Structure 1
Amino acid sequence: MFTGSARICIHLQGVATLKEKRMIVKSVIGRLKSRFNVSAAEIDRLDNKQMAVLGIAVVSNDRTFTISQLDTILSFIYNDGRFYVGDVKKDVCAFDEF
């Protein structure tokens, strides 16, 4: 089993309130969950209007698929015009049989 995780920092320009920020972040998370069947959440900078940190997790039995899925998700996020992407960290871990 392989787990892939990504920590993505996004910068929102022109957002005046936390309500606006949360609408954008909830929209992105919802689209990720429905389109890619992954776990996603806002994990840091919750009270910062201009920045959000998203955490994404993928589980698969194929390492290549896990990496490909993370790359596709990152491309999807990069192509969203409502914000720009800052720091990105991703990792894939293998778990041996129990």
Structure 2
Amino acid sequence: MPTPRTYARKLFAPLLDRLEGGDQPYRYTPKARLILWVTGLLFLALATGLAVLLPEGTDPAVLLPIGIFGLVGLFAIIVAWLGTERAVARVWGSR
């Protein structure tokens, strides 16, 4: 029986395939995944906090950084949760 993680990997396959491809050597440490989780959560918290505390009548251009912070946070959490060791190492630039 497929797990929810299997379905999530299929859903995010276009993103993960680009990070997991290749046969170059890489250097992975388990702390890299933990740091990616923490970074992702911090970016999502920042985006959520900015969106919630945004005063009424603010210029709509402020939504751009909120969206960018949110997307970076989601990207980090998706890779930390579903990515292989190679994908996590690639996020940190270890090749």
Common fold, TM-score beyond 0.5? no
TM-score scaled by length of structure 2 = 0.28
Q: Which has the higher helix share?
A: 2
| Higher gyration radius (CA) | 2
TM-score scaled by length of structure 1 = 0.27
Q: Which has the higher strand share?
A: 1
